[in-house]
A and B are shown apart, each in its own frame.
Chain A
Amino acid sequence: MRVALFVTCVNDTLYPRTGRAVVSLLERLGVEVEFPVEQSCCGQAQFNSGYRHETEPLVRRFARAFDGFDHIVAPSGSCAAMVRDNYPRIGAKARAEGRGSELADAAASVVPRTHELTEFLVDVLGVTDVGAYYPHSVTYHPTCHGLRMLGLGDRPTRLLRAVKGLELVDLPGAEECCGFGGTFAVKNSAVSSAMGADKARHITSTGAAAVCTVDNSCQMHIGGTLSRLGSPVRPVHIAEILASTEEEQW
Chain B
Amino acid sequence: MVGTYLGMPAFPEAARDAVRDERLRSNLTHATHTIRDKRAKAVAELPDWGRLRAAGAAIKDRTLRHLDHYLERLEESVTAAGGQVHWAADAREANRIVTRLVRETGEEEVVKVKSMATQEIGLNAALTAAGIRANETDLAELIVQLGDDLPSHILVPAIHRNRGEIRDIFAERMADWGRPAPEGLTDSPRDLAEAARLHLRQKFLNAKVGVSGANFMVAETGTMVVVESEGNGRMCLTLPETLISVVGIEKVVPTWRDLEVFLQLLPRSSTAERMNPYTSMWTGTTEGDGPRTFHLVLLDNGRTDTLADTVGRQALRCIRCSACLNVCPVYERAGGHAYGSAYPGPIGAILTPQLRGVASELDASLPYASSLCGACYEVCPVAIDIPEALVHLRERVVEGGEVTVRGTRTTVRPARGHAAERAAMRASRWALDHPGVLRAGQRVAGRARRLAPRRLPGPGRAWTDTRDIPALPAESFRDWWRRTREKPTRESGNGTKGAGR
Is B375 a contact of A177 with CB atoms below 8 Å?
A: yes
B369 at the interface (CB under 8 A from A): yes
B476 at the interface (CB under 8 A from A): yes
Tell me how far the C-beta of B208 lies from the nearest C-beta in chain A, rounded to whole angstroms.
46
Is A179 a contact of B12 with CB atoms below 8 Å?
A: no
Inter-chain contacts of B470 with A (CB < 8 A): 14-15, 220, 223-224
Is B373 a contact of A144 with CB atoms below 8 Å?
A: yes
CB interface residues, B 451-482, toward A, < 8 Å: 459-460, 462-463, 465-470, 472-473, 475-478, 480-482
Is A68 a contact of B493 with CB atoms below 8 Å?
A: yes
With A15-B470, A57-B433, A191-B19 as contacts: A9 and B377 at CB distance below 8 Å? no
Q: What 1/0 flags go to A190-204 for Cβ under 8 Å of B?
A: 111111110000000
A52 at the interface (CB under 8 A from B): yes
A180 at the interface (CB under 8 A from B): yes
Is B334 a contact of A58 with CB atoms below 8 Å?
A: no
Q: Specify which of B19, B399, B501 is in contact with A50 (CB 8 Å cutoff).
A: B399
Inter-chain contacts of B442 with A (CB < 8 A): 12-13
How far apart sit A221 and B459, CA to CA, in the bound complex (Å)?
16
- Stretch from A34-42, A107-115, A124-132, A162-170 contacting the other chain: A34-42
- Stretch from B115-123, B245-253, B264-272, B387-395 contacting the other chain: B387-395
Inter-chain contacts of B12 with A (CB < 8 A): 187-191
Inter-chain contacts of A37 with B (CB < 8 A): 435, 478, 481-482, 486, 496
How far apart sit A34 and B462, CA to CA, in the bound complex (Å)?
38
How far apart sit A234 and B389, CA to CA, in the bound complex (Å)?
35
Q: What 1/0 flags go to B252-265 for Cβ under 8 Å of A?
A: 00000000000000
How far apart sit A89 and B394, CA to CA, in the bound complex (Å)?
15
With A48-B391, A190-B16, A195-B333 as contacts: A16 and B429 at CB distance below 8 Å? no
Q: What 1/0 flags go to A1-37 for Cβ under 8 Å of B?
A: 0101001010111111101100110000000111111
B485 at the interface (CB under 8 A from A): yes
Is A188 a contact of B368 with CB atoms below 8 Å?
A: yes
Inter-chain contacts of A223 with B (CB < 8 A): 468, 470
CB interface residues, B 3-31, toward A, < 8 Å: 11-12, 15-16, 19-20, 25
With A50-B391, A189-B466, A228-B468 as contacts: A184 and B493 at CB distance below 8 Å? no
Tell me how far the C-beta of B438 lies from the nearest C-beta in chain A, rounded to whole angstroms.
6
Tell me how far the C-beta of B453 lies from the nearest C-beta in chain A, rounded to whole angstroms.
14
Inter-chain contacts of B15 with A (CB < 8 A): 188, 190-191
Is A4 a contact of B432 with CB atoms below 8 Å?
A: no
Main secondary structure of the interface of A (DSSP, over half): helix
Q: Specify which of A12, A15, A49, A96 is in contact with B425 (CB 8 Å cutoff).
A: A49
How far apart sit A177 and B370, CA to CA, in the bound complex (Å)?
10
A185 at the interface (CB under 8 A from B): yes
Q: How many residues of A contact B (CB 8 A)?
A: 81
Is B11 a contact of A48 with CB atoms below 8 Å?
A: no
Is B473 a contact of A177 with CB atoms below 8 Å?
A: no
A46 at the interface (CB under 8 A from B): yes
For A197, the closest partner residue in chain B by CB is B466
Q: What 1/0 flags go to B401-444 for Cβ under 8 Å of A?
A: 00000000000000000000110011011001101001000100
How far apart sit A2 and B462, CA to CA, in the bound complex (Å)?
42
Tell me how far the C-beta of B31 lies from the nearest C-beta in chain A, rounded to whole angstroms.
16
Q: Specify which of A47, A193, A194 is in contact with B467 (CB 8 Å cutoff).
A: A193
Inter-chain contacts of B425 with A (CB < 8 A): 45-46, 49, 51, 54
Q: Specify which of B20, B495, B501 is in contact with A24 (CB 8 Å cutoff).
A: B501
Is A51 a contact of B462 with CB atoms below 8 Å?
A: no
For A10, the closest partner residue in chain B by CB is B470
Q: Specify which of A13, A69, A188, A193 is in contact with B330 (CB 8 Å cutoff).
A: A188
Q: What 1/0 flags go to B188-217 for Cβ under 8 Å of A?
A: 000000000000000000000000000000
Is B391 a contact of A148 with CB atoms below 8 Å?
A: no
Is B467 a contact of A225 with CB atoms below 8 Å?
A: yes
CB interface residues, B 305-338, toward A, < 8 Å: 310, 329-330, 333-334
B62 at the interface (CB under 8 A from A): no
Is A19 a contact of B477 with CB atoms below 8 Å?
A: yes
Q: Specify which of B377, B468, B498 is in contact with A35 (CB 8 Å cutoff).
A: B498
B489 at the interface (CB under 8 A from A): no
For B338, the closest partner residue in chain A by CB is A191
Q: Specify which of A12, A40, A177 is in contact with B373 (CB 8 Å cutoff).
A: A177
Please give me the 7 A-B residue pairs with the lowest Cβ-Cβ distance, nearest first.
A181-B371, A50-B394, A224-B467, A34-B495, A177-B373, A16-B477, A19-B477
Q: A40-B435, A50-B393 are in contact. List 14 more A-B contacts (CB 8 A).
A: A2-B495, A13-B476, A16-B477, A46-B429, A48-B394, A57-B429, A89-B388, A186-B459, A188-B369, A191-B333, A191-B334, A195-B330, A196-B467, A224-B468
Residue pairs across A and B with Cβ atoms less than 8 A apart, 24 shown, are A9-B432, A12-B438, A12-B442, A16-B473, A36-B494, A37-B496, A38-B435, A45-B425, A47-B391, A49-B394, A50-B396, A50-B399, A57-B433, A67-B493, A86-B391, A148-B377, A177-B371, A185-B462, A187-B368, A189-B462, A189-B466, A190-B15, A193-B466, A194-B19
Residues of A within 8 A of B (CB): 2, 4, 7, 9, 11-17, 19-20, 23-24, 32-41, 43, 45-55, 57-58, 61, 64-65, 67-69, 86, 89, 96, 144-145, 148-149, 175-177, 179-197, 220-221, 223-225, 227-228
